[in-house]
Every structure is written in structure tokens, then in C-alpha cells.
Amino acid sequence: MTPAEAGAIPYGAVLAIAAMTLATYLCRSSGVVLMSWVRITPRVQRALAALPGSIVVATVVPIAARSGPDGILGILVGLVVMRLVRNELAALCAGLAVAAAVRALAPHA
């Protein structure tokens, strides 16, 4: 009988979830604590306003580059739709639909 069949709790998974919960909390709370010491000038405010976009770009561009032309085309379509309709969900759906369609119609070798 395996531990899962015996109703045992997989403590490794529980510990991993607890550790990631603690790490997430510490990252978020340390940001609040550290920023409480920073004087918010107009320059700092502009930098903070630009931060979410730069994080998205830093995350998405390498993924798109690794996924090939279909991923890059999906990103470009998402950018165009976002520019036209200013709706994140519409841009996301359009980009995903184009990338999926290109992969379905022209599969990679």
C-alpha cells in the first residue's frame, strides 16, 4: 500500500507550499517596509509607475523569443489589440488565439 492509498499527507508538498507562502509574504512586506524609508519624489513616482510594465516586458520577451515566430506574432497581435481597444483581456485573448492558431495550422518540425 502506498502512502497516498493509506491516506497519508504528503508533508514535502505541504512544507514546500508553506515555505513559498512565507517567502511571498516576506518579499511583499519587505517592499512596504523598505519603501516607507524612501522619500517619494516625482522622479521616484515615475519610476514606480513604469515598474510593472518593465517587469512584464522582462518576463514576456524571453518567453516569446524562445517560442519562435508563433509566440512573437502572438505578442505583436496582443500589442496591437491593446493599443486599439485598451482592454487587457481582449489583447490577451487575441494574442493567445493567434499563437494557438499558428501552432495548429503550421506545426513545428
Residue 73 has pLDDT above 60, yes or no: yes
Instruction: Give tens-digit pLDDT for 83-93.
Output: 999 999 999 99
- Which pLDDT belongs to residue 109? 46
Buried b (16+ CB within 10 A) or exposed e, 5-38: eeeeeeeeeeeeeeeeeeeeeeeeeeeeeeeeee
Give the mean pLDDT of the chain: 87
Instruction: Give tens-digit pLDDT for 27-37.
Output: 999 988 998 89
Residue 15 has pLDDT above 90, yes or no: yes
Grid look-up 486599439 returns 84
Cβ-Cβ contacts under 8 Å for 3 (sequence gap 6 or more):
10
